[in-house]
Amino acid sequence: LPLEEEYPTSSVGAGKRASSTGRQETDREGDICLLAKTFFDCKEYKRAAAHLSGATSKRAAFLRGYATYLAGAKGREEELVERAGPLGKADAVNEELEGLEAELSRLHAARGLDGFGLYLFGLVLIDLEREAEALAVLSASVAAFPCNWSAWQAL
């Protein structure tokens, strides 16, 4: 940014410039992500996803999607415990997968996913038992961000 936009030479009460407003929005989104991380740490995945619903950055989109994925997995585990009686196993599914798949495939088609978003999309495809598509998406994920060990393990 030019020096004038960072430190305006006009009087103190003249108002905020567009660049500083953009920076404030970025700071606000960072605060939202930090609050969502707190909810993650408490395993409050639905709350984390709800707080990230208005955020627009790729980081926030990944966190929102991953929180939704984990909330569905947590619900699936709880359902397994409830349904599984003394005689055997019960079938339970992550109810969030279909919605996540629709959202992530739309973003993928628009080239709106980074390496972490691609990793999440790959996890969703694996859970939906679409292994061939998952392999392609996870390969794209490690190509975009080779240090994502979780994506390598999923491959």
**b/e 132-151 (16+ beta carbons within 10 angstroms → b):** ebbeebbebbbebeeebeeb
The amino acid at residue 106 is R
CB atoms within 10 A of CB 58: 15
Q: Can you read off the two tokens belonging to residue 125?
A: 């495809």
pLDDT tens for the chain, residues 1 to 155:
344 444 344 444 443 334 444 455 578 888 888 999 999 899 999 999 999 988 888 888 899 999 999 999 998 888 877 776 655 566 777 888 999 999 999 999 999 899 999 999 999 999 999 999 999 999 999 999 999 999 999 98
- What's the pTM value of the predicted model, to 2 decimals? 0.76
Q: Using the 8-state DSSP alphabet, how is residue 52 labeled?
A: T
Domain ranges of the chain: 17-94, 96-155
- Please give the Cα distance from 108 to 10 (Å, whole number): 45
